[in-house]
């Protein structure tokens, strides 16, 4: 669906940290606060003007009814709409979709969407806490398959075997995104890598290597949406949401095709009310939990045939000033993955590019682009949550 009555005013993003001492850490609530501050800072909109608040469900353990607790702690009062999105890397886009629906229907007028997470805790050794219940605890973890890498690796094995996708092709994602991170002062990594380093990096769960993996960080992000009229008054460059589509738990056959994702149906939904074609996007902010996931998204967005994502990654110029700008902030791989708030990396960068705030990695004069979010790896299936967003300059609405 599209949202012609909605405008994106601004975004906010904190620095990325991997604290090594407890003195060096910031709390989840401090990241939410800083994200709110940064998002509202350059606008005439204040906390008192916000009547809708959306957050994500973080990896950091929080009590029940947390969105309201956060609202109360930070002073977001008299809210007519609240929500908490719980879809992994898909949370940011699905949250903004819900916020846009609230504004479109009149349930709220000015909505702040915040995502923050603190997966790095100096007092804790593990990256992923054990599940309290569910199929992963009972049918995956006992067999040595804890965590997303060991699960996603199965999908990569099949894709490489069936389509001949190579590590060399996939390396372009890691290498180019590192270049973008070097140009992004808010990215975690600030040094480049080359193909040899990528190919030499050790296997975590073969065929997934170290340089295929995201860098977990603590950070916070925000996106401010309001009515289209108010957005035009409040921002020099408001951003228009041409469409957001979702697909959760795609069926994909019995037994399911693990090389395809729900990005294909989400794309049809996202583009349903626009004349635009995915191949014409001025940038691609594609959730990059692993380079193979980027390859599959290129296929399922329709930019190439199934199985040719690797070829496209090798033949296209993925740089911010190339023919297919990809993850211009560095993505999850190089800007960082702030836990369950990771989807905001792509979303905030998409808005920023359209507002001309891309700094040293500004895509030349973009009119519109694609942002995606994916989350969760199913049992004997591919990604469970899939969202596609089409964002454009407000003046083109």
Partner 1 sequence: MTGLREVIAALFGRRRDGAAPRQHGRATAGAGSDEAGSNADGPSEPREDAGADPPEPYDKPLPDIHEQPHAEPFWAATTEERLLVQHCRDCGEFQYFPRPWCHHCASDDIEWTEAEGVGTVYSYTIVRTTVSNPEFAGDVPYVTAYVELAEGPRMLTMLTGCSPDAVERGMPVEVRFEHVTDDVALPLFEPQ
Neighbouring CB atoms inside 10 A of 124's CB total 9
Q: Which residues between 74 and 133 bind partner 1 (CB under 8 A)?
A: 120, 125-128, 130, 133
Q: Which residues between 215 and 274 bind partner 1 (CB under 8 A)?
A: 215-216, 254-255, 258
Q: Which stretch binds partner 1 (CB under 8 A): 17-25, 71-79, 235-243, 348-356?
A: 17-25
Q: Compare residues 146 and 386 and give the one whose CB is closer to partner 1.
A: 146
**Which token pair is 5?**
């009555």
Min dist CB 183 to partner 1, Å, is 12
Among 68, 147, 302, 378, binds partner 1 (CB under 8 A): 147
Min dist CB 380 to partner 1, Å, is 4
**Cβ neighbours of residue 180 under 8 Å, at least 6 residues apart?**
187, 319, 320, 327, 328, 329, 330, 331, 334, 335, 361
Min dist CB 19 to partner 1, Å, is 9
Q: Which residues between 350 and 389 bind partner 1 (CB under 8 A)?
A: 379-380
> Residue 230 to residues 146, 212, 381, 389: CA-CA distances in angstroms?
47, 42, 43, 22
Phi, psi (degrees; rounded to nearest 5) at 235: -140, 145
Cα–Cα nearest to 173, from 151, 148, 156, 150: 156
Partners of 83 in beta bridges: 54
Q: Which residues between 174 and 203 bind partner 1 (CB under 8 A)?
A: 185, 187-191, 201-203
Min dist CB 346 to partner 1, Å, is 20
CB of 296 closer than 8 Å to CB of 260: yes
- Is residue 161 within the footprint of partner 1 (CB under 8 A)? yes
Q: Which residues between 22 and 41 bind partner 1 (CB under 8 A)?
A: 24
Min dist CB 87 to partner 1, Å, is 20
Alpha helices by DSSP H, listed for 253-330, are: 263-270, 291-300, 309-315
CA–CA distance, 185 with 305 (Å, rounded to integer): 36
- Chain contacts with partner 1 (rule: CB under 8 A): 15-18, 20, 24, 120, 125-128, 130, 133, 135, 137-147, 149-150, 153-155, 157-158, 161, 185, 187-191, 201-208, 210, 213, 215-216, 254-255, 258, 379-380
């Amino acid at each position: 669906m599209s949202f012609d009555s909605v405008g994106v005013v601004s975004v906010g993003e904190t620095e990325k940290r991997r604290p090594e001492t407890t003195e060096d850490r910031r709390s989840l609530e401090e990241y939410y606060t800083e994200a709110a501050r940064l998002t509202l800072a350059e606008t005439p909109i204040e906390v008192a003007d916000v009547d809708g608040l959306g957050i994500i469900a973080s990896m950091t353990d929080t009590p029940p009814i947390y969105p309201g607790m956060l609202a109360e702690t930070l002073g977001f009062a008299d809210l007519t709409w609240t929500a908490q999105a719980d879809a992994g890397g898909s949370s940011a886009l699905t949250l903004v979709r819900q916020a846009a629906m609230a504004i479109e229907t009149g349930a709220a007028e000015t909505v702040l969407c915040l995502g923050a997470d603190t997966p790095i805790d100096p007092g804790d050794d593990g990256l992923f806490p054990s599940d309290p219940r569910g199929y992963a605890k009972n049918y995956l973890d006992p067999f040595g398959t804890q965590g997303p890498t060991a699960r996603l690796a199965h999908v990569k094995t099949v894709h490489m075997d069936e389509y001949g996708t190579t590590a060399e092709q996939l390396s372009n994602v890691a290498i180019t995104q590192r270049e973008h991170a070097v140009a992004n002062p808010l990215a975690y990594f600030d040094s480049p890598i080359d193909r040899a380093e990528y190919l030499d990096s050790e296997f975590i769960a073969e065929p997934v290597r170290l340089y295929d993996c995201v860098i977990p960080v603590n950070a916070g992000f925000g996106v401010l949406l309001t009515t289209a009229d108010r957005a035009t008054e409040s921002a020099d460059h408001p951003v228009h949401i041409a469409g957001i589509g979702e697909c959760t738990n795609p069926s994909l056959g019995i037994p399911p095709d693990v090389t395809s994702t729900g990005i294909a149906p989400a794309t049809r939904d996202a583009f349903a009310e626009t004349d635009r074609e995915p191949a014409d996007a001025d940038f691609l902010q594609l959730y990059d939990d692993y380079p193979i996931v980027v390859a599959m998204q290129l296929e399922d967005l329709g930019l190439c045939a199934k199985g040719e994502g690797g070829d496209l990654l090798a033949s296209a110029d993925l740089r911010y000033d190339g023919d297919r700008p990809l993850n211009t902030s560095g993505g999850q791989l190089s800007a960082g993955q702030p836990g369950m708030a990771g989807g905001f990396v792509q979303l905030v960068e998409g808005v920023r590019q359209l507002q001309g705030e891309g700094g040293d990695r500004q895509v030349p004069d973009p009119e519109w682009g694609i942002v995606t979010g994916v989350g969760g790896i199913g049992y004997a299936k591919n990604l469970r949550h899939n969202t596609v967003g089409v964002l454009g300059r407000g003046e083109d609405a």
